[in-house]
Amino acid sequence: MDETKESDTSRHFLRQWIEEDHAAGRTGGTVVTRFPPEPNGYIHIGHAKAVCVDFGMAKLFGGECHLRLDDTNPTKESDEYAENIKNDIRWLGWQWSGAGDGKEPGFYNASNMFDTMYQIAEELIRRGQAYCCNLTQDEWKEYRGVPEKPGRPSPSRDTDPERNLRIFREMRDGKYADGEWCLRAKIDMASPNIHFRDPVIYRIRHVSHYHLGDKWCIYPMYDFAHPIEDALEGVTHSMCTLEFEVHRPLYDWVVDRMDEQGLLVVRNGVKIRPQQREFARLNITWTVMSKRLLLQLVTEGHVAGWDDPRMPTVCGMRRRGFTPGAIREFCDRVGVTKVESESDPALLEWCVREELNRTALRRMAVLDPVKLVIENFEGARTVSKPNNPLDESAGMRKVPFSKEVWIDRADFMEVPEKKFFRLAPDREVRLRGACIVKCTGVEKDADGKITTIRCTWDEGSWGGNPSDGRKVKGTIHWVDVATGVKAEVRLYDRLFTVPDPLRDGSDGFLKYLNPDSLKTVTAYVEPALAAAALGERFQFERTGYFVVDSKDSTPGAPVFNRTVTLKDGYKPA
Ligand code: ATP
Ligand code: MG
């Protein structure tokens, strides 16, 4: 997929907004965006959407997109998460760029800005724009009030800067317990926007930070930290999800204070004022996306890890065989809007099929094997088949064929139903690319299960068509018994049985886990597949798209994950 293509969905309001600013010279010549994940989990398809918007807009305008780890919240953050986030973004096809705050271009840690944030806070205090407050959490809520009625001022609201500076430094120096004091911006206790009623901007937390250890016991709040990070990095356009729309006036307030303090970046003579705009988050049916619930699925063992192919995480989708191009195409098709909606995973699967149909090599694999013996077939031959009928340059492959082949149990019926055109007693079927066989009988075990299907072949039909021109309707795939390779195949289905697993709230979602979301079978596959590379994707003819599992495959013994079935009824609007 060409992500610079000008599809209708990419002509969205964010793009127009950036276009105008850029044209008016407000970017100082460079559009700068950022993707700001918190390194407290793995990124999922929702984050992938934000990644595509943030990196996509920067690319469209020839600008920069920074990768900023928003590590201002000391708990639950780790370098393992951070490394995986980087890996996933690169895999999705994006690369951060710009100056960076260390050795790596375009890469920032918000925690590297703690010193500056602290200095900005002190300056707010000196200017009478912030004060230390020791209301309890409950009192603070009660004083703040409801949007319809002005709130009440904290008794600390009009205290003098010197006292506040002293207490703030004592907070920093560890003199107080968590929650005893906080620093609040002095804005407007009567504002109808509750976030404007003297919001907390620093709080005490005696918790070690994964990079800075115990250097700090006070940490900035998101609403204070985020605009500072954007401004210090020279970000021009800061895009986030809709729930932050009501926080925007506060974002602007912080940027104004930085301007007063002379802290805005100047690029090509233009003072860069970062601006925030919001778009609807991506919601997908048949799954959950909150990091907390994904973590619960992992820790309670409902899935095999963050990269379980049933997870909506980027690493899970990768292991499932989804392609970066299909994920980007999906994000593009969902589009950028201001209205919350839910997307069907069938659209993503459709995008995956579209791409794999063009690119995946064809192979034959029999997932539910039963042996077919061709009584009058002598010796061994090879069938030459195209690797991809849609792509001549993919070349041909040779597939061994002899007297015994595996076929899929579902391709034979002892008593055929009305519209069943495949193999049945006394009927003919085409073994794809090889020849026509006719069923002469079956052998069964003690339980009546068919163990062997006996056939004869039409010796004039080599290549697949009878010499007398008679019609043979059914064509089935097969794998030669003598050379076929045994392989574990994992058939994945939806993780939940209902489109809205959170219908009873987040406590009840586990009861909608799909007990059949993973079925493991032992299949026989073409010999060529024994040498398949980890992560290589194939179309198993008539069956679906499969990928070589990157974790559990061993040399000569690949494990295959089903990415998607070959078809379903879904068509995008
Ligand atoms: P979660 O709620 O799953 O824990 P989060 O929003 O707290 O996720 P962050 O790491 O803070 O996770 O998110 C990084 C960026 O990704 C933010 O800009 C956020 O708005 C965006 N993002 C997260 N989830 C979605 C989503 N479902 N759709 C679009 N963007 C999203
Ligand atoms: Mg967040």
User: Is residue 157 within 8 Å of 148, Cβ to Cβ?
Assistant: no
pLDDT digits (tens, 9 = 90+) for 201-252: 999 999 999 999 999 999 999 999 999 999 999 999 999 999 999 999 999 9
Which residue has the CA at smallest separation from atom 29 of ligand 1? 281
State the distance from the centre of ligand 1 to the C-alpha of 222, rounded, in angstroms: 13
Nearest CA residue ID for atom 25, ligand 1: 46
Phi-psi region of 355 (alpha: psi -120 to 50; beta: other; left: phi over 0): alpha
pTM for this predicted structure: 0.93
User: Could you confirm whether 38 is annotated as catalytic?
Assistant: yes
- For ligand 1, mutation pick of 51, 76, 221, 241 (most atoms within 8 Å of CB): 241
Q: How far, in Å, is the centroid of ligand 1 from the Cα of 245?
A: 14
**In the prediction, which pLDDT does 9 show?**
54
Where b means 16+ CB within 10 Å and e means fewer, 306-342 reads bbbbbbbbbbbbbbbbbbbbbbbbbbbbbbbeeeeee
Specify the pLDDT at position 245: 96
Whether residue 176 contacts residue 204, with contact meaning beta carbons closer than 8 Å, is answered with yes
Neighbours of 11 (CB within 10 A): 12
Cβ of 227 closer than 6 Å to ligand 1, yes or no, is no
Closest ligand relative to 341 C-alpha: 1
- Give the confidence band of 497 by pLDDT, cuts at 50, 70, 90: very high
Residues, the chain:
573
Examine the pLDDT at 6 and tell me if it is beyond 60.
no
Q: Please check the confidence at residue 3 and state whether its pLDDT lies above 80.
A: no
Residue 524 pLDDT: 98
Residue 291 CB–ligand 1 contact under 6 Å: yes
**Averaged pLDDT for residues 347-371:** 97
* Residue-wise pLDDT tens digits, 500-546: 999 999 889 999 999 999 999 999 999 999 999 999 999 999 999 99
Choose, from 281, 381, 403, 454, the residue flagged as catalytic: 281
Q: Average per-residue pLDDT in the chain?
A: 95
- Rounded distance between C-alpha atoms, residue 288 and residue 294, angstroms: 7
Tokens of 130: 């912030």
Beta strands in 200-312 (DSSP E): 200-204, 218-220, 237-241, 266-267, 270-271, 275-279, 282-284
Whether 96 and 65 have beta carbons less than 8 Å apart is answered as yes
Tell how strand 450-457 and strand 369-374 pair up: parallel
Q: How do residues 10-32 score in pLDDT, each as one tens digit?
A: 578 999 999 999 999 999 999 99
Residue 373 has pLDDT above 70, yes or no: yes
489 pLDDT above the threshold of 90: yes
Residue 465 above 70 pLDDT? yes
Residue 46 beta carbon below 6 angstroms from any ligand 1 atom:
yes
- Of 366, 354, 318, 330, which is closest to residue 536 (Cα–Cα)? 318
Decide if 291 is catalytic.
yes
Question: Ligand 1: does its nearest atom lie under 6 Å from the Cβ of 54?
Answer: no
3-state secondary structure 287-316: CCCCHHHHHHHHHCCCCCCCCCCCCCEHHH
* Ligand in closest contact with the CA of 288: 1
Residue 74: pLDDT band with limits 50, 70, 90? confident
Contact 151, 197 (CB under 8 A): yes
Q: Quick one: pLDDT at residue 10? A: 59
The confidence score (pLDDT) of residue 569 equals 66
Cα R_g (the chain), whole angstroms: 31
pLDDT at res. 1: 40
The alpha carbon of 291 and the centre of ligand 2 are apart by a number of angstroms equal to: 10
Rounded CA-CA distance 324/338 in Å is 25
- Exposed e or buried b for every residue in 444-472, given b needs 16+ CB within 10 A? eeeeeeeeebbbebbeebbeebeeeeeeb
Ligand 2 mean position to 343 CA, how many Å? 21
**Residue 209 has what DSSP assignment?**
B
Nearest-10 crossing angle of helices 248-260, 222-233: 50
Tell me which amino acid residue 223 is.
D
Ligand nearest to the CA of 293: 1
Residue 122 phi, psi (nearest 5): -60, -40
Cα of 155 to ligand 1 centre, how many Å?
A: 37
- Identify the residue whose tokens are 């849609």: 390
* 38 touches ligand 1 (CB under 6 Å): yes
Q: Cα–Cα distance between 466 and 424 in angstroms, integer?
A: 18
Q: What value does the mean pLDDT take over residues 139-151?
A: 94
From the CA of 279, give the closest atom in ligand 1: 29
Average pLDDT over residues 128-136: 97
Question: Would you state the structure tokens that stand for residue 343, as one six-digit string?
Answer: 């997307």
Out of 257, 291, 310, 363, pick the active-site residue: 291
152 is catalytic: no
Q: How far is the CA of 339 from the centre of ligand 2 (A)?
A: 20
Q: Does residue 447 carry a pLDDT above 90? A: yes
Rounded CA gap, 287 and 265, in Å? 42
